[in-house]
Structure 1
Amino acid sequence: MNGAKYSQWRAMLAITKGSLRATFRSPSSVVFSLAFPLVFILVFGFIGNSTVSVKVGVDRHTDISTTYFKQLAANKTLKLITDDSEAEMAEDLKKGNLVAILNIEQQPGTDGQEHYKLHVKTSTATDPNKKGILIAALRAVTGQLDSQVYPRPSVATIIPEEVPGRIYKTIDFILPGQLGFALMSGAVFTTAFLFFGLRQTLVLKRFFATPIKRFYIVLAEALGRTVFQVISSIVIIALGHFAFGFTLVNGFVTFMEMLVLSAFGCLIFLGFGFIVSGIAKNESTIPLFANIITLPQFLLAGTFFPIDSFPSWLQPICRLMPLTYLADGLREVAYEGKHLWNIGFDLGILTIWGIVVYIVAVKVFRWE
């Protein structure tokens, strides 16, 4: 060493640099941290920008040149099918592919005005909600034509008032959940495989021949993983915001607070990775233990659906999971505009999880 004092921090940063480079070169790290979450965000982002489509078959006996049909066809929610055969529409109705088969029968009236009989044929496979949309559309067109044919004063006046507000889009719920999933899966899987591999190839044993302390080895690997996950978070949040209008209430401040929260969540989930690498007897058992930790949280921690939509007996289990509080915290910061000091409850639960996880990790982690 030529008399120079050994620097633990310099050695730690060197290991961090090597770990970060290895992470970028690892296909599994890229897949779990970026590919899977981005696919889900793209799918739900496009779904969130779409509208409900109500497919309705139009009976061949319907005159599509009538005023009633033209006004009904102007409704963008309804998709009127006019070119299928009677047999095809009947089969689709039975399968639930069509909400109804509509026959608009035009009849001459004694008052010289057009009159219509609306025959709406549905099946037991019909979605009741979409049927309600169709009936509402029919009533709206009927009301419009009634007002044109029989103009009359109204018995009531509606005075609308609208206050400013934010639309809660699908992406505002989905993206924080998928970001939390990316942090969890990336931290657990990559850490577990990394330390198991380092132990099996005796790299950790070689580290012990150097003056660097064990604490700095773990800190270097944790720092490398956290930097990679923060970079992944930047990509995910930026895509959601610029491509699908993901809400960042306070702009850049909200963005930075989400990154801080992401880094904190990553550190918590790294502990699970240390546990898996410690209890796994061989490489083939790592995915089993890792999935036991990640899969229930992926399904039940509110990544796709609000926890309130689950059965009441299942909700307490959902609220025990750390991913639940990370996702909720990210949503509160992004959409509600809260700051990190306003989400103390979520951070407190995550901190408790972190303490418990790292106590277990210390007990089961093996260096050789």
Structure 2
Amino acid sequence: MRKYSNTRATLAIATASLKSILRSPSAVIFSLAFPLIFILVFGFIGGGGVKVEVGLGKGSDTTNIVYQELKGVNVVKLLPDLSEETLKKNLEKGSLDAVLTISKNPNGKPPYIVDVKYTKASLEKGNILKAVLNNIFYIVNTKGANAPPPVAELREATVHGREYKTIDFILPGQLGFSLLSTGVFGTAFVFLSLRITLVIKRFFATPVKRASIVIGEAIARITFSLIGALFIILVGHFFFGFTLIHGFVTVINMLILSVIGLIVFMGFGFTVSGIAKNESSVPPIANIITLPQFLLSGTFFSIEAFPKWLQPISRALPLTYLNDAMRKVAFEGAGLFDVTHQLLVLAIWGVIIYTVAVKAFKWE
């Protein structure tokens, strides 16, 4: 008689669960169709909505009127604390839209010289900054018929950089949304259904261990999510030019991040399945978890566009850090060791939510 193997049982559960997921219209719609539709829409219409991020050169005078006026412009985000090396690097790779240096004129007339370096990576936002600066110069240099001498002179230059397209911002957010939906809704519905239909109770009559049930379901969801993530990434890259800075290596890093994110989000699903009394109560509870993250975690717009009082809430959500890590890996070429801060926050969320899940989850 062949010895019973929990490993084979785990793989059998994973295979059966994966087949069930692939046959589920709701799983395909939430995990693949919705994200793909958003990617297609934003990929075709282009555009943006992210603020113009401007670095401040070393030694810039921040007491003059030009800087003070620029600080009051909502569309411009000034970053005054970056090193020269970081400014140059970020400008070249397109994660910074311009670098502005305000220095005193040694000749004294005009008192200040404003040097601006734009990047070809974001020409649209460079044009916005030009319009803003021209308006400021008109205000501070022109005071009617008896205008005083100009207080500043503008000098401009443009450097080459990678183009930061809308798809480079949207696709990681939609991938994160897909993982969140799969982790929360998929896990919650499956385990609640297994409990209500007494399937888990029947499992207990066999030598199958509880860990095998959980691991089997997890393997199925991870496999399905990796297939979906790879599909979304390839569609974005080949049809809309989604940036994969290191090609195959970047894809692998994004898939690893997808697995980490899904494992964390499955913890929310386990918690929901433990709290919900029946299948009709799953959507309301799950939406309380997923909807705020979908809207506030930088899925469609940078969280910098939100009111200041709302930004700390956005920065507390796990999906925010997954989206941020995805974008850094894909566009900036960061490795997994370069996004340790984001991974640490996800790990903290994982510990918290699985602690709650252990308390809330019910087998019967």
TM-score, normalised by the number of residues in structure 1? 0.69
Structure 1 match to 2:10: 12
Structure 2 match to 1:208: 204
**Cα deviations by residue, 1:143-194 (Å, 9 ceiling, x for unpaired):** xxxxxxxxxxxxxxxx997543100000000000010000001111111111
Summarize the alignment of residues 124-143 of structure 1 with structure 2, pairs less than 5 Å apart: none
Structure 2 match to 1:246: 242
Q: Please tell me whether Structure 1 or Structure 2 has the larger radius of gyration of its CA atoms.
A: 1
Q: Would you say 1:357 and 2:362 are equivalent positions? A: no
Counterparts of 1:199 and 1:32, CA distance in 2: 23
Summarize the alignment of residues 1-368 of structure 1 with structure 2, pairs less than 5 Å apart: 2=1, 4-48=2-46, 163-368=159-364
Change in 2 beyond 3 A, CA 1:160/1:186: same
Counterparts of 1:325 and 1:317, CA distance in 2: 12
Counterparts of 2:262 and 2:219, CA distance in 1: 10
Residue type of the alignment partner of 1:326: L
SS of 1:303's equivalent? coil
Counterparts of 2:47 and 2:354, CA distance in 1: 42
Deviates more, 1:210-219 or 1:320-329: 210-219
Residue type of the alignment partner of 1:39: I
Residue-pair matches, total: 264
**Cα deviations by residue, 1:192-230 (Å, 9 ceiling, x for unpaired):** 111111111111011111111101110110111011011
Counterparts of 2:354 and 2:261, CA distance in 1: 13
SS of 2:256's equivalent? helix
State whether residues 28 and 190 of structure 1, in contact with CA within 8 Å, keep that contact through their aligned partners in structure 2.
no
Residue type of the alignment partner of 2:303: I
Counterparts of 1:355 and 1:254, CA distance in 2: 27
Structure 1 match to 2:111: none
Counterparts of 1:48 and 1:8, CA distance in 2: 51
State whether residues 248 and 335 of structure 1, in contact with CA within 8 Å, keep that contact through their aligned partners in structure 2.
yes
**Cα deviations by residue, 1:206-259 (Å, 9 ceiling, x for unpaired):** 111111110111011011101101100011000100010000000110011101
Residue type of the alignment partner of 2:19: R
Residue type of the alignment partner of 2:282: I
- 1:7 offset after TM fit, Å? 1.0
- 1:6 offset after TM fit, Å? 1.4
Residue type of the alignment partner of 1:310: F
Point out where structure 2 has 5 or more consecutive residues left out of the alignment.
Answer: 49-126, 135-154
Counterparts of 1:160 and 1:321, CA distance in 2: 39
Residue type of the alignment partner of 1:17: T
Counterparts of 2:165 and 2:211, CA distance in 1: 44
- 1:303 offset after TM fit, Å? 0.2
Residue type of the alignment partner of 2:34: F
**Cα deviations by residue, 1:36-75 (Å, 9 ceiling, x for unpaired):** 101100000011179xxxxxxxxxxxxxxxxxxxxxxxxx
Point out where structure 1 has 5 or more consecutive residues left out of the alignment.
Answer: 51-128, 137-158
